[in-house]
Amino acid sequence: MAARLLVGQSGGPTAVMNSSLLGVIEAALDRSEVSNVLGAIDGIEGLLEGQAIDLGHEDHATLRALRRTPSAALGSCRYKLQSGDADRLLDQLRRLGVGYFAYIGGNDSADTAHTLARRAAEIGQDLRVIAIPKTIDNDLPSTDHCPGYGSIARFVATALQDVGRDTEAMHRLDPVKIVEVMGRNAGWVAAASALGKRDGRDPPHLICPPERLLDLDQFLDSVQAVQRRLGHAVIVVAETVRGADGALIGADRDVRDSFGHRRLVEPARKLAALVEERLGLRARYDRPGTIQRMSSPCQSEVDLNEAEAAGRHAVDALLAGNTDQMVALIRPPGPGYRCDFGLAPLSAVANVEKPLPPAFFPGDDALPTPAFRAYAEPLLGGPLPEHARLQRVFVKI
């Protein structure tokens, strides 16, 4: 007997999150085992309030337009299941006739999906649960990379090229620029800022990822050395960069969400103030905020295609009888780039973060290794812009 499939979105939206949603909807509507496709409004939190819609009533053109629409069309949430929530949700799903649940999200969403799958098994409810990876942080284990990362990597790499030319031009007024990027506790996004770097003059000149404690004296020495060599300096800092004492730089209060994640408080602003105070150099800071995870002009074609394919694979996995699993993106060895799809147990994914590995970790110059470039460049979806630089052959006056 056919059952309904419910799909939801959770966590920070991305530029390609709706491409995964489209993949789920189209694949499910094409299968006789699925009687209809429902959408959870505002993720699990909205579902607890009884907020669900019939996606089968959407017209085809609207659904296809989802592929290039950034953000989360169903709405999102950051909600940790409380005592009794799993049973309430399972009761709602039973009354809705839902036999399949696909949840698009990151580490915390994997925890939600894992909890529901386990509880359904404990009480004997016929519900299959598959998580679809989504995070710009690229920090999920058991997958080569995550949908959403290729597009934010393209954004920050392009933005740093542009920021570098602005700072180079304005070096007499504002010789130091500090750019703060997202990524939570992993340096994948920060490292991607160097993918447009062609030579030593190009930015970033220094990267401060969360995996390395930042000695402020050494940081200031490095900034000054770059500024003296080039006349300007562009630095990328991760939003969770920590000082030598292990404390978050710029965090002056301990405010956390329901999953225990600290509210982040602009380390770039604090570091820019420190540069001005200690080095006497005017410093500006840029903090792109949520636009970096959401920029439709920087959507990577590879990212869009893989996000949609991940949604389709989730439906195939559900209908094949799988549950308590996450779709995993697999990069086969060998020349060229290809992405296959498999499954990973949610128990190995929920609430686990994958840091930037040592092979990609910045070396003494705090810039990513060639191994990281080989890993990340295929995910960008095409070449980055190449900016010109004048030779500047001076004449006597």
Q: What local confidence, expressed as pLDDT, does residue 35 receive? A: 97
* pLDDT at residue 169, rounded to an integer: 97
**Per the omega criterion (within 30 degrees of 0), is the bond before 204 cis?**
yes
- Tokens representing 169? 């031009």
pLDDT at 334 (0 to 100):
87
pLDDT digits (tens, 9 = 90+) for 179-200: 999 999 999 999 999 999 999 9
- 33-65, pLDDT tens digit by residue? 999 999 999 999 999 999 999 999 999 999 999
CATH topology for 3-147+298-348 is: Rossmann fold (3.40.50)
Task: Tell me whether strands 98-105 and 233-238 are parallel, antiparallel or unpaired.
Answer: unpaired
DSSP 115-138: HHHHHHHHHT---EEEEEE--TT-
- Is the model's pLDDT at 23 over the cut of 80? yes
Active site residue 162: no
Superfamily classification of domain 149-296+355-377: Phosphofructokinase domain (3.40.50.460)
For the CA atoms of 137, 9, 48, 45, the dihedral, rounded to the nearest 10 degrees, stands at 40
Q: Which of 42, 85, 108, 137 is catalytic?
A: 137
Chain segment 366-377, per-residue pLDDT in tens: 688 999 999 999
Looking at every residue in the chain, the average pLDDT score rounds to 94
Confidence of residue 363 (pLDDT cuts 50, 70, 90): low
Instruction: Specify the pLDDT at position 366.
Output: 66
Predicted confidence (pLDDT) per residue in 266-310, tens digit:
899 999 999 999 999 999 999 999 999 999 999 999 999 999 999
Mean pLDDT on 3-11: 97
DSSP 51-108: -EEEGGGS-HHHHHHGGG--S-TT-----PPPTTHHHHHHHHHHHHTEEEEEEEESHH
Q: Phi first, then psi: what are they for 262, rounded to 5°?
A: -70, 145
Report the 10 Å Cβ neighbour count for 311.
Answer: 28
- In tens, the pLDDT along 216-272 reads 999 999 999 999 999 999 999 999 999 999 999 986 655 555 555 555 568 999 999
Task: Let me know: does 234 contact 156? Beta carbons within 8 Å.
Answer: no
Q: What residue ranges do the domains of the chain occupy?
A: 3-147+298-348, 149-296+355-377
Q: Which residues contact 91 (CB under 8 A, 6 or more apart)?
A: none
* Cβ neighbours of 182 (radius 10 Å): 22
What is the model's pLDDT at position 368? 87
Query: To the nearest 10°, the Cα dihedral for 15, 16, 18, 20?
Result: -160
Domain 3-147+298-348 and domain 149-296+355-377, same fold? Reply is yes
Token readout for 237 is 């800092």
